[in-house]
Structure 1
Amino acid sequence: MADQHTKIHPLKDKTENPQPTRPLVPKGSSFKSDNQGQPSSAMPSNVHVQNNPPSFPFMDLRRASKPKRSCWCRCICWTISLLILLLIILGFIVAVIYIVFQPKIPNYSVDNLRISDLRLNFDLSLYARFNVRITAYNPNKKIGIYYEKGSQLSVWYKSSKLCQGPIPKFYQGHQNRTKLDVALTGQSQYGNTLLSALQEAQQTGRIPLDLKINVPVRIELGNLKLKKVRIVGNCALIVDSLSTNSFISIKASTCKFNVKL
């Protein structure tokens, strides 16, 4: 039967007539979900859905650290606010004191200068003894000044200290002028060189000397005595001679003073 042709039948596509599958939810039950994926009340009792996302240890630590950080920030803010408030109060007090008392720095002037001794020692150091009269003036109307121990008055030639001595303790009242006689003594190294420089300057008739003042004082505001401060200053003098046992003429004097806390 050679003339018989073999018939080829095409395979049917399985997608054309899909086989019915068994539903996952039993027949007769309803299942409804909203946008958030929450199951309805009709879900079978044997189906459990976990609503809360899984928690991780590092998330718990991060949550626990937030209250500590906020507490620390509040402490810093309170501290800064307290400091600012204290500064404002202090500034207000200072402003009131300045307005009520109008404090002014006392000033000093050199009345005369006398050299009792100026000579070379055997060790070639220069011995000097000066007597200085100064006038201390308190220009304040409502402030008294207590001069304390530890004061120093010194005479310098350029960078060399010639002699020094203390200012005595005393109280200076309001708008008071007080004249002070201070004895100054001292020894300077390289006396031969220093004495030669002084004698050379004496030939010109203009010898530059510096009178430096460093005085600890207490300010009196009414019945209140404030903390100790220091009055420091410098008087640049020009004298005509360094002759001993005679008053020296002061040709020029320029003084500047300020207060150090």
Structure 2
Amino acid sequence: MSSKQKKLIRWSIISLLIALFILLLIILIIWVVLQPKKPQFILQDATLYAFNLSSTPPYFLSSNLQVTISSQNPNKRIGIYYDKLDVYAAYRTQQITYYTATPPDYQGHKEVIEWSPFLYGTDIPVAPSNGESLRQDESNGAIWLMIKLNGHVRWKVGSFTSGRYHLRVNCPAFIPLSKASNAKYQLVANCKVTV
């Protein structure tokens, strides 16, 4: 290999490294300017319409509740598209309601939006250990549920829209089981958000 070829390869590598450095610097500057933050979710309330667990094993659960969940976009320059968002309730790690889809939505800068989906399940089989725990919680007069949201979001900066990202939200809900029907409970629980 001649010295001319070696110089050409050396300058090509140096040019590539400089271009890569400039690209990384531009990405860092954009990130610092935009300071992207994930949305903040709050479970505001829950209205329990029905909660019926079969009396003997195998356990089956029928439930009907409505929850109100709000989301705040903390970003000053980034909008959020909620392309798909499924909401359901889980007891311990077991899903106890069907998925309820929310309509697609767009959340502008610093904007707050709310969803109030109905969550229900009819004769959902419950694991034996969860059935016993549910029976115990029912006799104690309250249950711990996890209201979960799974979906896809896209970020919008100016006219640029990103690809889809998976969104997972977990909201703890301690719900007293009232003998009065349609008992509404103000929860105001902060949710854990993963994007």
TM-score surpassing 0.5?
A: yes
User: Is 2:95 the partner of 1:157?
Assistant: no
Determine which structure has more spread, i.e. the larger CA radius of gyration.
Answer: 1
Give the TM-score taking structure 2 as reference length: 0.76
Point out the more displaced range, 134-143 or 240-249. Answer: 240-249
Which residue in 1 is equivalent to 2:47? Answer: 114
Displacement of 1:241:
2.2
Unpaired segments ≥5 residues, structure 1: 1-66
Which residue of structure 2 lines up, in the alignment, with residue 231 of structure 1?
Answer: 167
Provide the identity percentage: 27
Residues 239, 249 of structure 1: 8 Å contact kept: no
Q: Distance in 2 between matches of 1:109 and 1:236?
A: 10
Match of 1:176 in 2: 111
Alignment of 1:215-254 (within 5 A): 215-241=151-177, 244-250=181-187, 253-254=189-190
User: Structure 2: how far apart are the matches of 1:134 and 1:85?
Assistant: 48
Corresponding position of 1:57: none
1:128 is the counterpart of 2:63: yes
Q: Any idea what SS the aligned residue of 1:98 has?
A: helix
Closer/same/farther in 2, CA of residues 231 and 90 from structure 1, 3 Å limit: farther
Q: What TM-score do the two structures reach when normalised by structure 1?
A: 0.59
Cα–Cα, structure 1 residues 190 and 99, in superposed 2: closer, same or farther, change >3 Å?
closer
2:72 corresponding residue in structure 1: 137
Aligned residues of 1:145 and 1:220 also touching (Cα < 8 A):
yes
Deviations 1:1-29 (A, max 9, x none): xxxxxxxxxxxxxxxxxxxxxxxxxxxxx
| Counterpart contact for 1:125–1:192, Cα < 8 Å | no
Structure 1 CA distance, aligned partners of 2:67 and 2:115? 8
CA apart distance, 1:152: 1.6
1:185 lines up with 2:127 in the alignment: no
3-state SS of 1:148 partner:
strand
Q: Over the residues paired in the alignment, what is the CA RMSD in angstroms? A: 3.1
User: How many residues are paired up?
Assistant: 183
Tell me which of 96, 107, 113 is aligned to 2:29.
96
Larger RCO: Structure 1 or Structure 2 (Cα < 8 Å, ≥ 6 residues apart)?
A: 2
SS at 1:227 equivalent: coil
Label 1:180 to 1:148 Cα distance change in 2 as closer, same or farther (>3 A).
same
**Quick check: 2:147–2:171 contact (8 Å CA) kept in 1?**
yes
Gaps of 5+ in 2: none
Deviation at 1:240, TM superposition (A): 2.3
Aligned residue type for 1:204: N
In 2: Cα distance, 1:148 partner to 1:185 partner: 22
